Amino acid sequence: MRLAKFLASAGVASRRAAEELVRAGRVAVGGVPVTDPAHSVGESDAVTVDGAPARPERERVVYALNKPAGVLSTARDTHGRPTVVSLIDAAVRLYPVGRLDADTTGLILLTNDGQLAHRLTHPSFRVPKTYRALLARPPVREAALRALRAGVALEDGPTAPARVSRVSADTIELTITEGRKRQVRRMCEAVGHPVRQLERVKFGTLSLGALKPGQYRRLSEAAVERLSAAAPAARRGARSSSRAPRR
């Protein structure tokens, strides 16, 4: 097994974050520092991160949390600010699946399964995320909705087309499959409607439901399987669409 994948299965971090740990020289195998994330290891190998043993988790757990405003989407914060991990009382080490801005609320997942986190967040799998946005400068007219649906030119390149519906004169629901930094806020500002409040209400097959801010629930194995199955299906769709003519 690749070292980065081993660390992800051990609940140390997501696969991409595990690769960064290895490259930074913080991981050793049999007491010898290793800087190649592709280094091959087995379950019997003694792997450590910053001197602490890393072992594969035996039980996969996934939590859905309604993140309150002001809480950081990280496992820990050097300044002592509240994090999503600190809100959940769990017996295993957790880390967030992707991120929400500190001032964005709503559905975020936490897990000890690095492979699942990778499938749900890597852009190639095109897992949809739906946000409800309260916008400034109402009413939101059809021209702005059409622009969002077509894709918006941002400083880091055009976005993929989004699914958008108008909830009220100043509120929309927007579904994207990308995960750029502050993407929804930048898209809405680009069409003339800065975001006043933003809440994620759906991630893949999972909806926020009745969870109140700060509340969380552990997902059943069936719910986790449905969530996991959404990623490969989305990836096949991405491959087929890549062969379609550009417009």
Write out 72-103 in H/E/C secondary structure.
Answer: ECCCCCCCCCCECHHHCCCCCCCEEECCCCCC
- Dist. CA 100–CA 91, nearest whole Å: 24
Beta strands 105-111 and 129-135 are unpaired
Which of the residues are catalytic? 101
Whether the CB-CB separation of 238 and 125 falls below 8 Å is answered with yes
Whether the CB-CB separation of 178 and 159 falls below 8 Å is answered with yes
The tokens of 118 are what? 């990778």
Whether the CB-CB separation of 144 and 193 falls below 8 Å is answered with yes
